[in-house]
Structure 1
Amino acid sequence: MQWKQDFTPISDHFWLSALVALIPILYFFWALAIKRMKGHVAGLTTLLIALLISVTAYKMPITMAVMSATQGAVYGLLPIGWIIITSVFLYKLTVKTGQFDVIRNSVLSITEDRRLQALLIAFSFGAFLEGAAGFGAPVAISAALLVGLGFNPLYAAGICLLANTAPVAFGAIGIPITAVEGPTGIPAMEISKMVGRQLPFLSVMIPFYLIVIMAGLKRTIEVLPAILVSGISFALTQFVSSNFLGPELPDILSALVSLLALTIFLKFWKPKQIFRFPSEAYSEVAVTAQAQLVTHTGGAVLKAWSPFLVLTAFISLWGVPEVKLALTGHYEGTNSLLKAINVLGHRLTFMPEVPGLNNKIISTSGQPIPAIYKLEVLGAAGTAIFLAAVITKFIVHISWKQWAATFGETLMELKLPILTIVSVVGFAYVTNASGMSTTLGMALAKTGPLFPFFSPFLGWLGVFITGSDTSSNLLFGNLQKVTATSVGMDPVLAIAANSSGGVTAKMISPQSIAVACAAVGLTGKESDLFRFTVKHSIFLIILIGILTFLQSNVLSWMIP
């Protein structure tokens, strides 16, 4: 039996259908922001509501609805859940062996100021991880590092989610932009150029915005020179690399330039007052840290950072296109090493059809929609992190018994966060398969002359639902192109706005919230983190909407 999608299922009434499609999203906002439900409860109940609406309102066969949820759940486990498990595991290994104390003090040797630590780790180092790995790795690792340094867990998670805004569009070696070339037919380089003429404005602002949230305006002005070095170096590199090199390297290059520029700058400039959080014992922390710094040699510091250096090497390698093809069994080149890896990658890549769903849903164009469980075991970024954890075992000299016990502890601690991730990704897949997300996208597309303002909101909606800028671009990219052409807007600008607008929803995506809470030990506190980030997400998407409207109507010279 096959089923054809219908985007106006409520008596062919478009706006009423859109209102019904909005119910699961409104419920999720209510569950977290107002009711303050635990993340896994909010996720599971939202999934149930989405299933109910898909079956009753959209007339989707119940078997297909349930199987689409299982497809999302599997994706929630691999690659997303696997990244979280391995990231937290690697961090816990450094804590268990005392290496994180050395890492903490090495950061303190650059600066003891919490504001500047946030710029170095949440903004610059997080952007590097986003560029190399994407998914949940940047927030999970950088937030864990900040907590280890002494940051409040909620602030650490919130700050890292906010900082992750700047690099998301070029994440995972530019996949969000290269992926949208296929369904739209617009060259990735053109989209990269346009995104590179939008996001740098946000990249300059984000470091300032982060510190204002952390410390207030007065304390932010105290470190304004460092903020400008961090933000401007990142934004300029992002613009140049995206416009002249393509979408693959902006994050990695921008992060490295920003990290290096700020580190060098702090060798010559220090804030007049060291900022720490009110809960910290100022003098005791400072004296203790300084005393410990004396005992750490350069070799000890290098050893302590080695797990994360190995991690960086592995996830960077996993992001190289040819290596990625080999790891997933799709390499067709002549390199003998990659051919050998390709054999193993092929054996560890499983693509079974989703029973009762594959090619059973017919799109409005009359084409069957394939549905597979995509299990790329070797090619997953989490596997790269896991291998880094294996090598870390030998670096920190922990026994296999303790290593395995730490992994077991990590799994036990992450039971509920993984359940949250599985449920919210399942919700995303049900929303897409039933057509609810397309209904909502079409509603925003009907805004006529105001579409240039609302165009980024489509990307925002897509990332909130799917948790991925790549998925959002694939979901709404062609709709952006068609609508933009019909209202006289440049389609390159519209597709770029989808990606630029999407980055502002990453901080409130249910997946991202669950990942961040898992990384900092806030399981069950997802509602607190959501309330922390949602107002900033709305503020930033409005700014992107205004910028896109101006670029369409006043600043059209900025469009490539």
Structure 2
Amino acid sequence: MYQQIYDPIGGSLLLSSALAALPLLVMFLLLGWLRVAPHIAALISLAVCMLVAVLAYGMPLAATLNLGLYGAAFGVLTVLWIIVNAIWLYNMTVKSGHFAVLRDSFARISPDPRIQAIIIAFSFGALIEALAGSGTPIAISGAMLLGIGVRPMKAVVLALVANTAPVAFGALAVPIVTLAKVSGEPFGLLGAIVGRQTPLLAAFVPLILMFIFDGKRGLRQVWPAAVVAGVAFAVSQWIAANYISVELADVFGALGSAGGLLLFLKVWTPEPCGDIEDVEPAPANVERHGGGALWLAYAPYVLIIVVFSLAQVAGIKQWLGFGTFRFAWPGLEIANAAGAPVATQFVLNALSATGTLLLFAGVLSALLLRVRPGVAVEIYGATLKQLRWAIPTVLCVLALAFVMNYSGQTITLGRWMAQTGSAFAFLSPVIGWLGVAVTGSDNSSNALFGALQVAAAQETGMRPALLAAANASGGVLGKMISPQSLAVGAAAVGVIGQEGIIFRKTIGWSLLLLLALSVLVYLQAGPLAWMLP
């Protein structure tokens, strides 16, 4: 059995943290500045991570390699299975011609592509995050932005930044459920506090999107619509999280944002924008389609919402659960520093997995769109070919995350930051950000650091629920720079191999929003404590 140690370098958390951070620094350096191909960067970073685990943390080589295999297997079901089926569904709508109808319908709402981008990336993306999560909204909204004429690089950056708003409550608030379990704090209280943090950031996200889309001109001409969409989302998410349902906070936010914007567009029209860099000009005459054609164009996305909603119904959820198998990963025995066993359980949820539900929605969509079985299979094969370089990237990134987590490297980083006393309120969101940057999942970050946040709060005399919630809120800002998210976005828009460029375009926004959140949490621990329930 391997027992974790969190200060292997001379008993110093500072020196140990410097070494534990090395795999992430290598990853970001290779991707962001040296422009190394992402699958190569991920493989090199994984090798560095394994060397740190073996040479510094004393993990046996066999266990380290087994952990990498465990992480890769986890990635197949939780990431790749989702990406492949999400992109397959989108490719079918393009191949069958129905996405062109959908694009025309967006143009009927507003001919301005900037308004369309808010609806697709922010409002619709939040709705998909609410029901599916796991990178699905990045893949689908990124691909949809391509369909309205946005060039690939700009489309993926918009999709990643827009996904900031809903992640903490994604997949029907599963990250908050996990946080409540590991922290011991009440689920409703955690949801309410997160609902008084992330909406304040979400209100500004559409303004950021407009700056990314069209620079200062976009802000000057479209800020009223961006403010309406952002504030409507923030108010709806806040009301739902505090007074209606934590699980449905993103659903309310997405619908409130879309509804508020559509109503506003009835009384306000943006100035003509002319040509926009990296955006193809919209056609002069937009075809008006009948109700039947519009229904078919929207049907795949309606089916996604229906399938994921039905999957949460008690009886159906129980039936889907029969396809779930749990077993301890063979050959792995790990204990934490206190000697308690660390769970290494592998969950194979064949029927209820997000990717499986997307596959089912895709099959139903093929039937509705009258895509012949042979053509659907052919499109699936083309999708796999399209993702051929994203697949090894995701596998290496997940392997790296598992080795970092189970060897103790990630906890070393968190514990070192937890030594900062009262300043920990400022750094608390940074730990959540770091967790998602490593694992690609707010749920995983909460599982990893939720208890640590509570322990640090008790040592410093701060409110445990505040710091636990800050972990979830900070995590949403790490999503846009997570190597997993970068791989998903690049694959969705067809720029595989350019993840480093995407990283450089998103890291600034991630750090800026993280700074704003850290200041907010620090103030909520002191003079703004009245904001909390």
Question: TM-score band (shorter)?
Answer: over 0.9
- 1:341-397 deviation line (CA, Å, top 9, x unaligned): xxxx2xxx233332210xx11112221122132211111111111111111222221
Shift of residue 482 of structure 1? Answer: 0.9
Deviation at 1:275, TM superposition (A): 5.1
Alignment of 1:77 onto 2:54 = no
Per the normalisation by structure 2, the TM-score is: 0.97
For structure 1, the residue ranges without an aligned partner over 5 or more in a row are: 330-344
Match of 1:353, as an amino acid? A
Deviations 1:105-163 (A, max 9, x none): 11111112121111101000000001101101111001100011111111111111111
Within a 5 Å distance, the mapping from 1:68-467 to structure 2 comes to 68-274=67-273, 276-278=275-277, 282=281, 285-287=282-284, 289-290=285-286, 293-294=287-288, 296-320=289-313, 323-329=316-322, 345=323, 349-357=324-332, 360-467=333-440
CA distance in 1: counterparts of 2:374 and 2:490, whole angstroms = 28
Structure 1 SS opposite 2:150: coil
1:491 is matched with which residue? Answer: 464
- Contact between 1:318 and 1:381, CA under 8 Å: does it hold in 2? no
CA distance in 2: counterparts of 1:404 and 1:513, whole angstroms: 27
The answer for the alignment partner of 1:55 in structure 2 is: 54
Moved more, 146-155 or 215-224: 215-224
Offset at 1:320? 4.6
5 Å-filtered alignment, 1:517-532, equals 517-532=490-505
The one-letter code sitting in structure 1 at the alignment partner of 2:161 is L
Taking the aligned partners of 1:424 and 1:508, their CA distance within structure 2 comes to 13
Which 10-residue stretch deviates more, 255-264 or 318-327? 318-327
SS state at 1:447 partner = helix
Residues 112 and 274, structure 1, Cα contact 8 Å, conserved in 2: no
CA distance in 1, matches of 2:317, 2:135: 18
Count of matched residue pairs? 533
CA–CA separation in structure 1 for the residues paired with 2:346 and 2:252 = 34
What SS does the aligned partner of 1:375 have? strand
Q: Distance in 2 between matches of 1:35 and 1:281?
A: 30
- Identity, % of aligned positions: 40
Instruction: Note if contact 1:456-1:497 (Cα within 8 Å) is conserved in structure 2.
Output: yes
Inter-CA distance 322–493: structure 2 relative to 1 (3 Å threshold): farther
In 1, Cα distance between the equivalents of 2:278 and 2:472?
Answer: 39
CA-CA distance at 1:66 after TM superposition:
1.1
Q: What's the CA shift for 1:489?
A: 1.3
Preserved contact between residue 195 and residue 500 of structure 1 (Cα < 8 Å):
yes
C-alpha distance in 2, partners of 1:383/1:25?
Answer: 31
Preserved CA contact (<8 Å) 2:457 2:463: yes
Distance 2:297 2:169 in 1: 30
Structure 1 stretch 153-162 or stretch 391-400: which is displaced more?
391-400
Aligned-pair CA distance for 1:319? 4.2
Task: Please report how far the alpha carbon of residue 522 of structure 1 lies from its aligned counterpart in structure 2 after TM superposition.
Answer: 0.9
- The question of 1:508 aligning with 2:489 is answered no
- Kept in 1, the 8 Å contact 2:150–2:279? The answer is no
Equivalent position amino acid for 1:184 in 2: S
Query: Relative to 1, partners in 2 of residues 1:165 and 1:38: Cα closer, same or farther, differing over 3 Å?
Result: same
Of residues 434-443 and 252-261 in structure 1, the stretch that sits farther from structure 2 once superposed is: 252-261
Say which is worse superposed, 13-22 or 123-132, in terms of deviation: 13-22
How far apart are residue 200 of structure 1 and its match?
Answer: 1.3
Q: 1 CA distance for matches of 2:232 and 2:75?
A: 35
- Partner SS, residue 327 of structure 2: coil
Bigger Cα displacement from structure 2, 113-122 vs 388-397: 388-397
* CA offsets 1:248-306 (integer angstroms, 9 cap, x no match): 01001110111122123223321121455235564xx432x42xx13x21211111111
- TM-aligned CA distance change 1:85 to 1:280, over 3 Å: closer
8 Å Cα contact 2:30-2:36 kept in structure 1: yes
| RMSD between superposed Cα atoms in Å | 1.4
Any gaps of 5 or more consecutive residues in structure 2? none
Q: Is the 8 A contact 2:150 2:278 kept in 1?
A: no
- Aligned partners of 1:84 and 1:382 also within 8 Å: yes
**Structure 1 position 540, deviation (Å):** 0.9
| Change over 3 Å in CA distance of 1:511–1:104 after alignment to 2 | same
Q: d(CA) in 1 for partners of 2:316 and 2:240?
A: 22
- Residue of structure 2 equivalent to 1:334: none
